[in-house]
């Protein structure tokens, strides 16, 4: 079946540090890939997405590239801020309209 | 433009009771999906509704049921509540398309505590 594996947190960083969160997936066919972010006490917000191999999703300084050869979709940000403290979820969707399969989430804490 | 809304925000029930959670999708969206997020875990897919029918279901028992109304809003019902049903219940809406790239937008969730 489909599955998503993320690096375990928490990840603790200082402000302006470089952030990488690893995400790998297992799926048949060509899934779409997503990163969602969840701030404390809130629901999930879409951060970025990529729908085919070699696509790069980007938003708010975050980037992730769909790597089919390594079945990965790692999230990166060059310079984090305290406001980036949140839980980040990698997810895949196997076909349009299909369900989202999420990883376990990675908590990121950015200290001033 | 209102986003996805859910009610209530918090709920406390006791074992064996029944609960109904409600969701109004984002304007223009016709598909509603429900997810359960246990503490410290990623969301798990419960089911999806489109055109008032359950289109897909995850690995949840029949105690979990739902409904979609003609205005696309949806309800999630859970019968015979167990302690393990305590979780954040998330509703997501989307616009059904035949191609890829459709995005699901999430509501703030309903936090259910079963005592």
Q: What is the DSSP string of A30-48?
A: --EEEEEEE-TT--EEEEE
* Cross-chain Cβ contact A102/B105 below 8 Å: no
Q: Which two tokens stand for residue B42?
A: 């990623």
Quickly tell me which residue has 């979609």 as its tokens: B68
CA distance B49 to A20: 35
β partners of residue B88: B37, B111
Q: What is the pLDDT of residue A41?
A: 82
Q: Choose the weakest-confidence range: A72-86, B32-46, B71-85, B88-102.
A: B88-102
Query: In a mutagenesis test of the B interface, which of A31, A97, A105 is the best target, namely the one with the most B β-carbons within 10 Å?
Result: A97
* Cross-chain Cβ contact B109/A43 below 8 Å: yes
pLDDT digits (tens, 9 = 90+) for B80-90: 999 999 999 99
**CB A44, CB B90: distance < 8 Å:** yes
* Cross-chain Cβ contact B48/A95 below 8 Å: no
CA distance A111 to A85: 9
**DSSP code of residue A63:** E
Contacts of A101 in chain B (CB under 8 A): 45
How distant is the Cα of A14 from the closest Cα of chain B, in angstroms?
23
pLDDT digits (tens, 9 = 90+) for A29-87: 889 999 999 998 888 999 999 988 999 999 999 999 999 999 999 999 999 999 999 99
Q: Is B84 helix (H, G, I), strand (E, B) or coil?
A: helix
Identify which of B106, B3, B104 has the alpha carbon closest to the alpha carbon of residue A32.
B104
Contacts of A44 in chain B (CB under 8 A): 43, 90, 92, 106
Identify which of A44, A30, A1, A89 has the alpha carbon closest to the alpha carbon of residue B58.
A1
Task: Output Rg (C-alpha) for chain A, integer angstroms.
Answer: 13
């Amino acid at each position: 079946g489909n599955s998503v594996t993320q690096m375990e947190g928490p990840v603790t960083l200082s402000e302006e540090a470089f952030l990488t969160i690893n995400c790998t997936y297992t799926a048949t066919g060509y899934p779409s890939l997503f990163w969602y972010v969840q701030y404390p006490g809130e629901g999930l917000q879409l951060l970025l997405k990529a729908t085919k191999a070699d696509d790069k999703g980007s938003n708010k300084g975050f980037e992730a590239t769909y790597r089919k050869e390594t079945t990965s979709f790692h999230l990166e940000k060059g310079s984090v801020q305290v406001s980036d403290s949140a839980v980040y979820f990698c997810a895949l969707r196997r076909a349009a309209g299909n369900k989202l399969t999420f990883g376990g989430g990675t908590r990121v804490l950015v200290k001033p | 433009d209102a986003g996805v809304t859910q009610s209530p925000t918090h709920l406390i029930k006791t074992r064996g009771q029944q609960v109904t959670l409600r969701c109004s999708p984002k304007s223009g969206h016709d598909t509603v999906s429900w997810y359960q997020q246990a503490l410290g875990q990623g969301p798990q897919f419960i089911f999806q509704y489109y055109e008032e029918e359950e289109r897909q279901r995850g690995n949840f028992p029949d105690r979990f049921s739902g409904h979609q109304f003609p205005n696309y809003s949806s309800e999630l019902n859970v019968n015979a509540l167990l302690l393990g049903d305590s979780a954040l219940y998330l509703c997501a809406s989307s616009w059904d398309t035949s191609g890829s790239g459709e995005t699901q937008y999430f509501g703030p969730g309903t936090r259910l505590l079963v005592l």
